[in-house]
Structure 1
Amino acid sequence: MPYTSPQDILQTRPEAHPVKAGFAQKVWDACLEIIKEKINNQAFKTWFTPITPLNFSDNELTIEVPSQFFYEWIEENYSRYVKEALKEIIGAEGKLMYSIVMDKSQGHPVTIELPHQNIAKSAEPPASTIPSPPQSADRERFEKNRIKFESHLNPKYTFSSLIRGDCNSLAFAASKSVAQNPGQNAFNPLVIYGGVGLGKTHMMQAIGNQVRENCISEYVLYVSSEKFAIDFVNAIQNGNIQEFSSFYRKIDVLIIDDIQFFAGKEKTQEEIFHIFNTLHQSNKQIILSSDRPIKEIKGIEDRLISRFNWGLSVDLQPPDYETRKAIIQSKLEQNGVNLDSTIVDFIATNVTQNVRELEGCIVKLLAAHSLFNQEIDLAFTKSTLKDIIRIQSKQLTLETIEKAVCSYFSITPNDLKGKSKKKEIATGRQIAMYLSKELTDSSLKTIGLHFGGRDHSTVIHGCNTVSKKMEQSMEIRNTIEELKKRIEIMSM
């Protein structure tokens, strides 16, 4: 809604009834016009469109946001723009109040109200409530006085050993944020979900390891849902339930893996419910993982589902091709090994769904290489990994050869089949014919027809030309070998 000036907005202020939602809407719309000019359109739609202005009174605007997460994200990322807009529309004496919807599970929203910092003050965010990690002598005293607490964390699971890609970028960023300020942000609980072998356990434990590394807390506990449930049953049988509950209520960062296994365990869920409430109310961090979105887990109580959804849920997707290659290269570097790019491409092309299997391929390949003392070439790789990579052999086609040649020479299929006599196109066409004759059972007539309707004599001439060039030029021989490797991978 365009406006002429802030004064025009304030002049329409209802004097008799200052708490009118209609006027609050006008004020907020005017603010949005200013904010919209300073952030990108997608961010504006995501974070400002869902906001509802509730009332305006005594220079105080109250807006409703759908969750605690929303409130904290806006305060942390867009606070300056909100303040500038309010100052322009209302003036330096203006105030902002958030009404936060906390829980809709009971059929009606339960809200809390939190103030925004006075807009006349600096836009700098408040200092973190988390103390800085101890330094020098202080850190030495911290280390000396560290309690003996078994966290069950694997020290190998760190952020530095975790490859970041499009498949896990949001989860990675949220996990780093939690590790820096556990329990002091909107990501509580942090729920990470995804299929088997995508890195959920690695990411959760990386948070715990960084919290301990930064000396933020020693009370970090990683536990599988299965172990939690077994320990809980044992506590009941041994009359130690009070000790069990007391132990978990003292944890600063609680990490529970695979919560889908709590489904149907009513008593265990009740205990989790009470532990969750105690920790959350004490600003302790809770991190959970699941193989599916929380709402899709059957057999979990609604009140528990509601609490698990209080924070942030992020998913892990199967890694894309580039990320798979990066994971393989990282694993090779850790082992001080270099492999031909063809081997890396082969594994990255054929293992697509599971990070764990990617790493398993490298481990098995290196073990076999050490055991048999054989060079790791493509044939050795296929033989070694045949039980992991189940390749369906398919007949090599002229289309596959065409695609490989076009990609290598950066030309189009139309170029290859056309009449152009440019050097790179003519060379690519002749090599495509040569490879088609060498690698397939296609007749000369079929090859000629495929590559632009040429007759068999043209195909023979092209093949002979390439054969002679291979005898005279190392560059051509290397080109042919590289294309054969690419075609072999593409045809698997």
Structure 2
Amino acid sequence: MSNTHAVIWDSCLKVIKDNVSLQAFKTWFEPIIPVRLEDNVLTIQVPSHFFYEWLEENYITLLKKVIRKELGAEGRLEYSIIMENNSTNTTPYTVKLPALNKKSLKNVPVSMPLNVDEKQIRNPFIIPGLKKVNVESNLNPSYSFENFVEGDCNRLARASGYAVANKPGGTAFNPLLIYGGVGLGKTHLAHAIGIEIKNQFPNKTVLYVGSEKFAHQFIDALKNQTSNDFIHFYQMIDVLIIDDVQFFAGKEKTQDVFFHIFNHLHQNGKQIILTSDKPPVEMQGMEQRLLSRFKWGLSADLGTPDLETRIAILEKKMYGNGIELPKDVVEYLAYSINTNVREMEGALNTLLAQASLNKKAITLELAKQMVDKFVKNTAREVSIEYIQKIVCDYFDLPIEMLKSKTRKREVVQARQISMYFSKKMTKSSLANIGAHCGGKDHATVLHACRTVVNLSETDKQFRSYLEDLEKKLTIQ
């Protein structure tokens, strides 16, 4: 059968999939292509020399088992490795491993040396003639792991970043792509990884550069006919951090040169860290060969921080600045600005500056004024969480009680009022409002809103509750 090699490898994959994590399977086994089967020797094609080394380093025992299971005790494995020389030509070379023995690695050629004197390479950041050891990292010392508040929204990204910092170029997270929306901490985390690597490995050359800066440097190199110096400079870096890599979209020549730099660094076990506002599958205007490389390592997302994380971020910032704010002010900021950490920190800075310049005490009223002026209209909407907090504070109930299944009259009333104001003051769906109130469905929310309206028309005391709460909830 002409496709016997594919059938054999497919059978191997089924066993492998049951013995490794899904992420490891997608990263290290899905990209493999079976090439041929001759004399009990299965040849598989892998994307790079680094890829081959990683399989041999981490999965040699598993590979032995599956090959012998499918081909018998005499079964052997060969790797066909693509060595990329330029953008249009890829030349595979084969590594024969008769006994699947890791010792044969010693005879495998490593990627080609640069053959360039580092003293002669033009540093695109400063001036010609600087040695590698003199490269400035461009890292911000305030963006450290110590200042990065961990929460459910960023735990995977932080943990993988810390693993990279402890073993740059030596983990499966290469490249490490950190993605998420604006103001969620991508740049902070990228700097933190670089700083930690510099602390642990002072001899490693770490470089942080924005994607637009990289593109402009490349354009200058083309104009000055120093593109070789540009490429060689970046190929000397041990840890390369590219921020906002999505800005390479549509820039074909910049993508092309980054592709070659990426390959060289990756094949030599150097660490690559990228940040983006979206995962690789959603990046438009990027070459497929580049996107496929972004998927080689780990893509870790930074989600929107939950309430507890937002409060912790504000408290950390206040502690760092040696200031204290009333608890209700901190909670108001955390409740009101719930999509963007940078905006929340900016609002805090604005509030502190306003209070200092005008010699005003920092009160909840002042905080409401600042948030109203500072935050974009789209983010200024009162949140369901904040409504629930105000209602629970008003009736002196713990918020957990509001979200419980208890049918106590006072709790049911507070729950219905919070549903009523959530429908009235937010753009949330009835289903979302119900989910915030202990998993109630949309019909329950509609019933609660009708009940509140009816009571407000017949019960004077109840109507005064609503009026008081509406004043507290309205941003002045």
TM range, smaller chain: 0.5 to 0.7
Q: Does 1:238 align with 2:224?
A: yes
Q: What residue number does 2:156 align with?
A: 170
Q: Find the partner of 2:268 among 253, 271, 282.
A: 282
Q: Find the partner of 2:182 among 166, 180, 196.
A: 196
Decide whether the 8 Å contact of 1:331 with 1:362 is kept in 2. no
**Counterpart-to-counterpart distance in 2, 1:334 and 1:264:** 41
Cα displacement string for residues 5-27 of structure 1 (whole angstroms, at most 9, x for unaligned residues): xxxxxxxxxxxxxxx99xx99x9
Cα displacement string for residues 139-172 of structure 1 (whole angstroms, at most 9, x for unaligned residues): xxxxxx9943211111111111111111111111
Decide whether the 8 Å contact of 2:45 with 2:79 is kept in 1. yes
Task: Note the C-alpha offset of 1:295.
Answer: 2.7
**Counterpart-to-counterpart distance in 2, 1:286 and 1:430:** 55
**Counterpart-to-counterpart distance in 2, 1:84 and 1:46:** 20
TM-score normalised by L of structure 2: 0.62
**Counterpart-to-counterpart distance in 1, 2:257 and 2:455:** 77
Aligned CA distance change for structure 1 residues 388 and 100 (closer, same or farther; 3 Å): farther
**Counterpart-to-counterpart distance in 1, 2:79 and 2:472:** 61
Task: Note the C-alpha offset of 1:327.
Answer: 0.9
User: Match for 1:270: what amino acid?
Assistant: D
Structure 1 unaligned segments of length 5 or more: list them. Answer: 1-19, 54-59, 86-93, 104-109, 119-144, 417-424, 433-448, 464-479
Larger radius of gyration: 1
Structure 1 counterpart SS, 2:208: strand
**Counterpart-to-counterpart distance in 1, 2:168 and 2:175:** 10
Cα displacement string for residues 26-64 of structure 1 (whole angstroms, at most 9, x for unaligned residues): x999999xx99x999x999999999999xxxxxx99999
**Counterpart-to-counterpart distance in 2, 1:337 and 1:46:** 48
Task: Note the C-alpha offset of 1:83.
Answer: 11
**Counterpart-to-counterpart distance in 1, 2:274 and 2:392:** 49
The count of corresponding residues between Structure 1 and Structure 2 is: 412
Cα displacement string for residues 327-367 of structure 1 (whole angstroms, at most 9, x for unaligned residues): 11111111122222211221111111111111111111111
Q: What residue number does 2:472 align with?
A: 488
Task: Note the C-alpha offset of 1:81.
Answer: 11
Task: Note the C-alpha offset of 1:240.
Answer: 1.8
Decide whether the 8 Å contact of 2:351 with 2:370 is kept in 1. yes
Decide whether the 8 Å contact of 2:198 with 2:206 is kept in 1. yes
Q: Find the partner of 1:259 among 240, 245, 250.
A: 245
Cα displacement string for residues 413-451 of structure 1 (whole angstroms, at most 9, x for unaligned residues): 9977xxxxxxxx78889999xxxxxxxxxxxxxxxx969
Structure 2 counterpart SS, 1:160: helix
Q: What residue number does 2:208 align with?
A: 222
TM-score normalised by L of structure 1: 0.61
**Counterpart-to-counterpart distance in 1, 2:155 and 2:179:** 13
Q: Does 1:378 align with 2:364?
A: yes
Decide whether the 8 Å contact of 1:189 with 1:310 is kept in 2. yes
Aligned CA distance change for structure 1 residues 63 and 230 (closer, same or farther; 3 Å): closer
Aligned CA distance change for structure 1 residues 413 and 64 (closer, same or farther; 3 Å): same
Structure 2 unaligned segments of length 5 or more: list them. Answer: 35-40, 67-74, 85-90, 100-130, 416-449
**Counterpart-to-counterpart distance in 2, 1:71 and 1:380:** 61
Cα displacement string for residues 193-240 of structure 1 (whole angstroms, at most 9, x for unaligned residues): 111111111111111111111135341111111111111111111122
Structure 1 counterpart SS, 2:220: helix
Structure 2 counterpart SS, 1:150: coil
Structure 1 counterpart SS, 2:290: helix
Q: What residue number does 1:353 align with?
A: 339
Decide whether the 8 Å contact of 2:245 with 2:275 is kept in 1. yes
Aligned CA distance change for structure 1 residues 365 and 491 (closer, same or farther; 3 Å): closer
Moved more, 204-213 or 302-311: 302-311
User: Match for 1:164: what amino acid?
Assistant: E
Q: Find the partner of 1:369 among 347, 355, 369.
A: 355
User: Match for 1:179: what amino acid?
Assistant: A
Structure 2 counterpart SS, 1:193: strand
Structure 2 counterpart SS, 1:384: helix
Aligned CA distance change for structure 1 residues 388 and 412 (closer, same or farther; 3 Å): closer
Aligned CA distance change for structure 1 residues 67 and 400 (closer, same or farther; 3 Å): farther
**Counterpart-to-counterpart distance in 1, 2:27 and 2:296:** 17
**Counterpart-to-counterpart distance in 2, 1:39 and 1:274:** 31
Decide whether the 8 Å contact of 2:50 with 2:269 is kept in 1. no
Structure 2 counterpart SS, 1:387: helix
**Counterpart-to-counterpart distance in 2, 1:230 and 1:412:** 53
**Counterpart-to-counterpart distance in 2, 1:221 and 1:63:** 35
Decide whether the 8 Å contact of 2:27 with 2:295 is kept in 1. no
Q: What residue number does 1:136 align with?
A: none
Q: Does 1:205 align with 2:205?
A: no
Decide whether the 8 Å contact of 2:168 with 2:270 is kept in 1. yes
Decide whether the 8 Å contact of 1:31 with 1:82 is kept in 2. no
Root mean square deviation, CA, Å: 5.8
**Counterpart-to-counterpart distance in 2, 1:158 and 1:44:** 28
Structure 2 counterpart SS, 1:339: coil
Q: What residue number does 1:273 align with?
A: 259
Q: What residue number does 1:325 align with?
A: 311
User: Match for 1:350: what amino acid?
Assistant: S
Structure 1 counterpart SS, 2:147: coil
Structure 2 counterpart SS, 1:202: helix
User: Match for 2:233: what amino acid?
Assistant: F
Structure 2 counterpart SS, 1:306: helix
Q: Does 1:336 align with 2:322?
A: yes
Decide whether the 8 Å contact of 1:364 with 1:385 is kept in 2. no
Structure 1 consecutive aligned stretches of length 4 or more whose deviation exceeds 6 Å: 27-32, 42-53, 60-85, 94-103, 110-116, 396-400, 411-416, 425-432, 453-460, 484-487
Aligned pairs for 1:113-132 within 5 A: none
**Counterpart-to-counterpart distance in 1, 2:340 and 2:391:** 29
Structure 1 counterpart SS, 2:305: coil
Q: What residue number does 1:446 align with?
A: none
Task: Note the C-alpha offset of 1:114.
Answer: 10
User: Match for 1:295: what amino acid?
Assistant: V
Decide whether the 8 Å contact of 2:336 with 2:381 is kept in 1. no
**Counterpart-to-counterpart distance in 2, 1:411 and 1:303:** 52
